[in-house]
Amino acid sequence: MSDGEIDVSAVWSTLSEPRMTPYLQSAENDRETALELYVWSARVAAAAFEVVGHLEVLLRNALDRCLRSHFREEQCGIPWFLLPTPGGEHVADAVAVVRERLRPLGQESRHQIVAGLSFGFWAGLIGPKYEDLWRECIHRAFPNSSGKRKQIAIAVERVRRFRNRLAHHDSTINVDIPFEYRQAIELASCIDADAAKWLERCGNVMAVYAQRPIKACDTVVVPAKQAWQVYQDCCAYLCQPGRAFRPVERIAFYLDREIKPEVPAVAHRRDNVEWSRDAASRLRDSTDRNDRKIAKVIDSTIDSWTGGRYQVFLLTAPGHPDHRRLKVPLPHNGTGRGSAFVQKQRYVSLHSLETASTTADV
């Protein structure tokens, strides 16, 4: 073996089998490709962690400013976090731990204490037991938001969980990085629009994400002249019975010369379903959850879809943890007869949809 070559088996032996199993499965048991995927996962995690780290600083500084003003810190000369805070002992306990850690180092300054408080601490201040404090002052830390505490709390908690996953070096191969990244940017924009723009420009998350070495064709794009409305009405896709599909995880919709941004996951697939009110009635009385969902789809479409039989895909709705949403619709710029992006169905990767600007990039 030359100096430039790497013994994959030797490298593999230094990494635990449980840790590498997801990568190996995604790489169809090719260890060399699995290692490439492992490296990519670490790189995209590092890029995302940079953005989340900047956001954490924005968040704590915004909250600190509001609390400093609310408790009239400049006038009383006592940091707000050393005063009794409505909501319990959460603040006092957390501050005591940080001060105890900093004191032997001679770094027990106000700035160091604030910087030493965890993301979880700041997220906790937006929790339900601080509802009064939210109304009195904390809402001002998010001037561009709806003003609803619960909405901000959910957004902050989501970023916190994502941050912890990155910090613990968990695999990112099954994490919707573009979605989590957008959530972080949106939270930043609630604090300050210019800071959010800066945050978006200073990171390279999407550039690294685009370099993923394996891009599985896990999504089918379907023409959606009727299908898009059906999905919007009842989160389902209908087509003729017996129509063949490769194994896919998602469906994307092509209509009006663009791929729509919603990319739902397939929750259930069933072929040859009778489309009638009697069938809906029978399914509605079933103990099977999917039967009842299909009954609702029949009820919603029976007036516009003629009787007979159909193949049904039950799909996720926006907000479902498995649902994905592209940042923008993907326009199709092809022209001329037969230039539509998809005629019957077309298989692509979710990854390619998430990193594309137009259908030409898919």
- Residue 28 scores a pLDDT above 90: no
d(CA 179, CA 165) in angstroms, rounded, equals: 15
Higher-pLDDT residue of 216 and 45 is: 45
CB atoms near residue 153 (< 10 Å): 18
The three-point CA angle 251-254-257 to 5° equals 160
Q: Which amino acid is at 301?
A: T
The rounded mean pLDDT for the chain is 90
Give the percent of the chain with pLDDT over 90.
64
How does pLDDT run across 170-215, given as a tens digit for each residue?
888 878 888 889 889 999 999 999 999 999 998 899 999 989 998 8
- Spatial distance between the Cα atoms of 276 and 308, rounded to a whole number of angstroms: 7
Q: What is the reported pTM?
A: 0.73
What CA–CA distance (Å, rounded) separates 171 from 162? 11
Give dist(CA 106, CA 99) in Å, integer: 10
pLDDT tens digits for range 117-175: 999 999 999 999 899 999 999 999 999 998 999 989 988 998 999 999 999 988 888 78
Q: Are 6 and 158 in contact (CB under 8 A)?
A: no
Percent of the chain with pLDDT over 70: 97
What's CA 42's distance to the chain center, in Å? Answer: 18
Average pLDDT over residues 287-301: 95
* Per-residue model confidence (pLDDT) at position 1: 47
- Would you say the C-alpha torsion 5, 8, 14, 20 has a positive or negative sign? positive
pLDDT tens digits, 224-234: 999 999 999 99
**Could you tell me the CA-to-CA distances from 142 to 57, 70, 162, 183, 193 in Å, in that order?**
14, 15, 20, 15, 10
**234-286 pLDDT, tens digit each:** 999 999 988 888 888 999 999 999 999 999 999 999 988 999 999 999 999 99
Q: What are the pLDDT digits (tens) for 319-339?
A: 998 999 999 999 998 776 667
Tokens 């901000």 correspond to: 152
Element holding 258 (H helix, E strand):
strand 258-259
Stated length of the chain: 362
**Average pLDDT estimate for 90-94:** 85
